[in-house]
Amino acid sequence: MAEYKVPKFLKRDGDALLFNDEGELIFYVPEMYFDREDAFFVGEYINIIGIFDYSVFDKAGKNNGLHRFYFPTVFLTKPYTTEKQKNVRLTSSQDPMDYRLLRYKKGDPVVVSVKVPQQNENIEAFYKLFLYGKIPKTIPIDKLHDYFLENIELNGNDYGTNIQMFGLIFSEMCRSKKDLSVPFRNTKYTDPTDYTMISIMDLPKYISPHQSLGSQNWESAVVGAITNPSDVESPLEKLLMG
């Protein structure tokens, strides 16, 4: 694991990171992580990808705000209890989601071991989470590439490409909430988290019929691209509609 500054609410005990506060730590894990088995129970432990939000509460129950947990690989954690909550809105700009709340009290192992196994399976699990657009919507668009770089470093590998390529991918996957045919980068946004990330498999239908023909689900993509309102017309559209 790369060297990090351990947050004040954690303390290192050997290879473990323990919660070290008199209050409570809560991880807000999207329930879809468990639905997709990107998070699952292993006895008393939970195997999870470290991309989610959290808050630290003091003894009086007051929290210090919402923060992003940044450990983009697979690791084991051991909360003292978990709780399901439906239709939770973590920020005013985000749509309500179902979450699994992981709760920790003082001494609980938040990260069982920082020496995570360097496995290609961890890279694949992380990569699919992004490609299907299933990440927490609280990550600013200009920070998305950081997660890819950190994940590959934690797993002792290399993508073999430059960071600009990830920028191109994210610039297309992140769309306007008001109109999915408009890339988020082309909106006059003030909140860098106010986007909708769509699956890369659904992306072609919002670009053009030409892109749709070469996509994985080309039939539905072509139909979507043709019926999608757009001021841009291509010769392929005329051919398909002629």
Q: How far is CA 164 from the centre of its chain?
A: 19
Angle of helix 144-154 versus helix 120-131 axis, rounded to 10: 170
Domain ranges of the chain: 10-111, 140-241
Q: Higher pLDDT residue, 226 or 68?
A: 68
The reported pLDDT for the residue numbered 156 is: 78
Helices (H) then strands (E): counts for the chain:
7, 11
Q: Higher pLDDT residue, 44 or 199?
A: 44
The residue written with tokens 């468990």 in the block is 34
Query: Which pLDDT tens digit goes with each residue over 143-197?
Result: 888 888 888 888 877 767 677 777 888 888 899 999 888 999 999 999 999 999 9
∠ Cα 118 150 71 (to 5°): 80
- Cα separation, 193 vs 93, in Å, equals 8
Query: Which pLDDT tens digit goes with each residue over 29-59?
Result: 999 999 988 899 999 999 999 999 999 999 9
pLDDT band at 239 (very low <50, low <70, confident <90, very high): low
Query: Which pLDDT tens digit goes with each residue over 103-126?
Result: 999 999 999 999 888 888 888 888
